[in-house]
Structure 1
């Protein structure tokens, strides 16, 4: 979970935009989070296949938390 520059606001997973097992490209929106009143798309950090989602929709998040496992080629 990257730093969003929003302090003192809860951050929760709103929606996964990619299904487990799907190929992703670096920078492609991976999931959507709610940070206070804002909705933010979080990008894939690398090219590869989304092997595992480590958080579910409505889960609270903290900065630095791993969100998914992406296996690169």
Structure 2
């Protein structure tokens, strides 16, 4: 199991920002993804950031819903490898 970790994609120029919004999921639970494939998009202070899959496998859980706030370092989802 591999976590889709928000800290891995947090921009360096947003170090002073601790919260963001998950704006869009591009894959549903149960969908097979390839490592590097964009699985969701987050919004940090009006900047959109694509979140790639950290590993190939099946997205088994989305722990943050669309339009939901989360903190840097939170797990956004889980991939079964």
TM-score (norm 2): 0.80
**Matching of residues 1-73 of structure 1 within 5 Å:** 1-2=6-7, 3-5=10-12, 6=14, 7-8=16-17, 10-72=19-81
Q: What are the ranges of 5 or more consecutive residues in structure 2 without an aligned counterpart?
A: 1-5
RMSD (CA atoms):
1.3
After TM superposition, the runs of 4+ consecutive aligned structure 1 residues lying more than 4 A away are none
Higher helix share: 2
Count of residues paired in the alignment: 72
TM-score (norm 1): 0.88
Helix, strand or coil for the counterpart of 1:69?
strand
